[in-house]
Structure 1
Amino acid sequence: MKSDLNWDDLRVFLDVARLGGLSAATETTGLSAATLGRRVTALERAVGEALFVRSQSGYQLTPAGEDLLARAEDVEAAMLSLRRWKEGNHGDRMVRVSAGPWTSAFVASHIGDVWSVADRFGLEFVTANQKVDIGRRNADLGIRSQRPTEQWLAGRLIGRVAHALYSGLNLVNGIAAGYFVGVVGEGAQIQSARWLQAHHGDRIGLRGNDAMSVRELVAAGAGLGVFPCFVGDSDTRLIRIASPIRELETEQWLVSHHEERHDPSVRTVGDRLAALMGQHGALFRGELPRR
């Protein structure tokens, strides 16, 4: 029979889930493995489903466990906010910014323009190739390539992003043979990866499942690759070999929830992000002089 969930049990669950087993969690919780095991079992009874698959190699989350992990992390964030409020840090909160890998990396490299230790909020980067659900508060702000269509979301156009073909500086290895470096996994669904597959799929010699490894392969001469111009033109190891690809040009929208956009911390971060992108607009549009 299901019963009310206990926050102390949820905290134990978070440690076991994040560390992958009871032994590792003994160090962070100060509890014995036996006690942790009993607490996890009690939580499973309260939920009414198994949360872990237990084996000699550790504890692996079940689908129900994965679902609870996401919800427990929301509770954890709320409890942290309450603790800060109790301690008098009334302005403290965590502003979550979602974006793709390249945009997240760009913002991170200019963090001083977006956040400082004087701010009474923190930043959390939610990096994903797919859209993060702002409507369900999985992020406070999102930088997206399309205008939001959901009625509960607000958006403002903050720029445009160009894409082009790049090679490494040395025309060796795959580049000399006219090969391309493709993308697999989640990244294969983004527009530039689909374009490359459609136009040069028969010449893809290597693939990577994350943006950073693809860039390293291209820079090392493994083949040609498609990158946003703000990425390729900023990397001294890469050279743009053609004009931006017209059909890959996208808009850049800053998206927030209608209710959250008036929160002072969210508004401040949003304004700073918009200013940062505006300041580097020519780089994003591929308009800077080519090397």
Structure 2
Amino acid sequence: MNWDDLRIFLAIARQGSARAAAAKLGVHHSTITRRIDAFESTQKTRLFDRLPSGYALTLAGEELLAGATRVEDEMNGIERHILGQDIQLRGNLRVTMPDALAVHFLMPDLVCFMETYPEVNLEVLISYEVYNLTKREADVAIRVTENPPEHLVGRKVGCYHCANYASVDYLAAHALPKNTEGAYWIGWDAPTPYPDWVRKSEFPHIPMRGRFNNAIAQLAAAKAGLGLARIPCFLGDPEPTLKRVPPGQSAPCHDVWILTHKDLISTVRIQTFMDCMSKAFQQKQDLLEGRCPALSA
């Protein structure tokens, strides 16, 4: 039984469709359908029912799923063990992190790392999804979390602060904080006019308008003059068209960790990358923790 066939089987079983499995594995969906058809033919067993809604496991498929998952765990363990012995400062390095940190905070440092270590092929996976480091979906994760998983190792590199921002023109048009009439919060993730985070803010009676469930989208909406945005200081303070809404204090929001699997921590390129990014966070603590309001004044 071919391990690549099992990988495709597992992807379809987890994703529920050939197109979603193809996107997960980075291949064309026709390759997925052709390979799974051939796999079923070789095994002389139908593993999936092809339904209008997608692929559904048959009883035989469900039985194979348990065994294939165990094989996957063994293969991933072998790969991590081999990679963990690597003492070469070269090779591929897959790193996952949120877009706001990559684009607005770490990009110069990522570029510097790539220029300093040209034989390390850095692949940055921009996502809010939690990539599975145990399954080698990524080698390093920079995560916003208060409770990193126990099977991962690393370090807390900071705690980013948030503050309230609005465009310079928006603040000129509204007499905040004395008069809040006609002002709006830019909504995050609640459909109600006064979600919990609004009620706990300095302006609990300003209603919410719209929904932008992404920090970079919030930043863009605030710059365009939609209203007040509660965003990380490392996004708001460097923007010349934004100012903190008086009184302008920032507050701690979330911890940031840099993590890898315990089997990979001795890999030189992973150690080196984690050290470089940890140093970058340390050098930018003032920006991360909201001590650079003059940038947005």
Matched, 1:180 2:179: no
RMSD across aligned positions (CA): 4.4
TM-score (norm 1): 0.66
- Per-residue CA shift, 1:216-259, capped at 9, x if unaligned? 1111111111111111112222211243443x433332222222
- Per-residue CA shift, 1:132-176, capped at 9, x if unaligned? 333443322222344655432222232231110000121178997
Aligned residues: 249
Where 1:208 maps in the other structure, the secondary structure is coil
Q: Which residue of 2 aligns with 1:219?
A: 223
C-alpha contact (below 8 Å) 2:165/2:244 kept by paired residues: yes
* 1:253 corresponds to which of 252, 257, 264: 257
C-alpha contact (below 8 Å) 2:219/2:235 kept by paired residues: no
Where 1:184 maps in the other structure, the secondary structure is coil
AA at the equivalent of 1:103: L
**Cα gap change, 1:263 to 1:171, in 2 (>3 Å):** same
C-alpha contact (below 8 Å) 1:179/1:205 kept by paired residues: yes
Bigger relative contact order (CA 8 A; separation at least 6): 2
Where 2:170 maps in the other structure, the secondary structure is coil
Which structure 2 residues correspond to residues 56-75 of structure 1 after superposition, within 5 A? 62=55
CA positional deviation for 1:44: 5.4
Identity %: 20
Q: Which residue of 2 aligns with 1:233?
A: 237
- Per-residue CA shift, 1:67-105, capped at 9, x if unaligned? x9xx9xx9xxx9xx9xxxxxxxx7643222222221122
CA distance in 2, matches of 1:236, 1:51: 56
CA distance in 2, matches of 1:180, 1:98: 30
CA distance in 2, matches of 1:287, 1:36: 51
* 1:17 corresponds to which of 10, 16, 19: 19
Which structure 2 residues correspond to residues 66-145 of structure 1 after superposition, within 5 A? 92-105=90-103, 106-116=105-115, 118-145=117-144
Q: Which residue of 1 aligns with 2:197?
A: 195
CA distance in 2, matches of 1:96, 1:43: 30
Matched, 1:155 2:151: no
C-alpha contact (below 8 Å) 2:109/2:277 kept by paired residues: no
AA at the equivalent of 2:37: T
**Cα gap change, 1:281 to 1:95, in 2 (>3 Å):** same
C-alpha contact (below 8 Å) 1:182/1:197 kept by paired residues: no
Q: Which residue of 2 aligns with 1:284?
A: 288
C-alpha contact (below 8 Å) 1:161/1:250 kept by paired residues: yes
CA distance in 2, matches of 1:111, 1:263: 18
Matched, 1:205 2:236: no
**Cα gap change, 1:112 to 1:256, in 2 (>3 Å):** same
C-alpha contact (below 8 Å) 1:51/1:63 kept by paired residues: yes
AA at the equivalent of 1:181: I
C-alpha contact (below 8 Å) 2:163/2:232 kept by paired residues: yes
CA distance in 1, matches of 2:163, 2:217: 18
Q: Which residue of 1 aligns with 2:37?
A: 41
Which deviates more from structure 2 when the two are superposed, residues 224-233 or residues 121-130?
Answer: 121-130
